[in-house]
Chains A and B, each alone.
Chain A
Amino acid sequence: MQCDEIEELLYLHRAGELEPGEHQILTDHLKTCSACREMLAELKQLDTIFDLERSVAPDLGRDLDSDILSAIYAAVQESDTGSMSKLIPHWLTERALWFALVVFLGILGISFATEQYIAIKKITTLEEKMVDQAVVSLQETSLTGRLAGLYSRYQKRNLEIGTGRGKSILLSKLNSTDVATGAKFLRLSDGVHLVGTERKRGLLSDYSGIKTDAHPYEFVYQFLVQEEQK
């Protein structure tokens, strides 16, 4: 056989795929052909090198495709959550954020409550001060005198007591100034509450004949003057 035909048998031999007859032919040829023997020696050397590389990276090549796919999958996953996780400092935990949220809401709540408390306190003081200024003129001895003083002060300063609370402060001050006429003040108190709404003023107007468009204090004043005259 020619050497080029023997070369094919050499490769088959290396791969372990020689038929028994072919093995005999190759052995006989190698006994007489030094060139083919050298080729066999070179092939064995190459096999030694490959064997060494396999021992270092045994799966290289064999699992390449699956490795690439795994890497791509991992990268995709990392871009979703893993990289974000790396960006977030370790101390910024979920618990720390809940704590911060609670503290922040607490600060907002306390600030709001404080601002509201101070405002309500100031408004209440202002309301009482306005009422006090109205009561200054009520040092008259008679009820009608006090009411006249109150009404004239109201007219003079265009004072707006307005709220039910303001009226009750006013009445408590009136009550505290003269116990002897408590009964009259009670009527005054009833009167003020009675004329608090237009409907009630209407009812009282039918009884007294006082016009309903009068200011509540003026209404009470006129009503009590009439009552006293009776």
Chain B
Amino acid sequence: MNTTKHSFILAGTIIISMILWNCREITTTTKIYSDGSCERTVKVKSKHKSHSNSYFPIPTDSTWTITNTKTRQDTTFYEFTATREFRDVKDLQRVYTSYADSGLAIEDLEMKKRFGLFYLYFRYQEVYSRYSPYDKVPISDYLTEDEIQIYLSEQDSSDIEDKVDEWRARAMFEELFQAMVSKAETLAIPELTPAMFRTNKDTLFRAIIKNADSTNGVLREASVILKTDAVSALTDTIDYVIKRIDHDLENMMQVSSNEYVNQVIMPGLLLDTNADAVEGNMARWKFSGEAFEFRDKRMWGESRVINWWGIGISGGLLLLLLGFLVIIARARRP
């Protein structure tokens, strides 16, 4: 994530965050059984023993079977494993809903069962919701879906990277800008009107992004551009917003710096999936947390198992028909 390029006052925070939170490998494996029940195992490999502040819903309560040991291969890493069985996918969803305030949301877990005459079809879907604290500027204003795809597939494209940086900077600046305008409206000072901000919005953006590295820096740039010292009345507001941006960015870095693997073992034969890889009846998605910044991560798989009930009923009906045929042939014989 090249956020440092334009993230004005927060460069230091990003670096600290990266050092603090990098290199978590989170592997989630969900085994779906044909009766609808499932078992989930969450495995986290990191240098930190505790995951209570990981900003990804990692189960740590006693309803899960948990182990937390140092890895054999590299003893500087801890391997945390939590396993639990669930009645059905909705039960799993309920548990994750209770972790909703722990950060990234597992927004939707869904299991659909469809009956065919010879097979039962299962469709499982899991959605990790988009996580971007700066939502005042839509990504679609800067990047097309294809460009996002190219960016996330880590193909070299400096144009697209520049667009991403521009969007991030604009999105963060918008948080600050709207707070300043709102405060100016409240203060109602003739020397500091909201219109002044709106007229000079682009100039403010360029100057703050380029030169400001703290609350004082933002005040300095704003007073120069707006030609008034009245901006000092916004000190508390700017300070508050910058701290909030700082905090949100830290959380986002936690999410983004992790490597995620989601594995779903479907019952029976895997027919279709949007996974990156398939092994037998297991679909696997591997992605960096950066994917969450742009859109929901939607993962699904479809499989089938033999419908023994359908085959039994069909066979029964067939035997019934044949039985009738024999009886009627004998009854109608002269």
Contact = CB atoms under 8 A, between A and B. Distances in A.
Interface string A68-87: 00000000000001001100
Contacts of A97: 321, 324-325, 328
Contacts of A156: 286
A43 interface: no
Contact of B284 (A93, A125, A136, A158): A158
A98 B117 contact: no
Interface residues of B, number: 33
Interface stretch (A5-13, A14-22, A104-112): A104-112
Contact of A104 (B118, B270, B271, B318): B318
B118 A122 contact: no
B72 to A, nearest CB: 21
A94 B273 CA distance: 49
Interface residues of A, number: 30
Nearest to A111: B117
Interface string A86-122: 0010001110011011001100100110010001001
A158 B279 CA distance: 8
A92 B117 contact: no
A112 B118 CA distance: 7
Contact of A119 (B271, B273, B279, B324): B271
A140 interface: no
Contacts of B329: 94
Contacts of B304: 119
A92 B328 contact: yes
Contacts of B273: 126
13 contacts: A81-B330, A85-B331, A98-B325, A101-B321, A108-B318, A111-B116, A115-B116, A115-B119, A119-B271, A125-B272, A136-B153, A157-B286, A160-B279
Given A97-B324, A97-B325, A98-B325, 10 more contacts: A81-B333, A94-B329, A104-B317, A119-B269, A123-B272, A156-B286, A158-B277, A158-B284, A159-B277, A160-B278
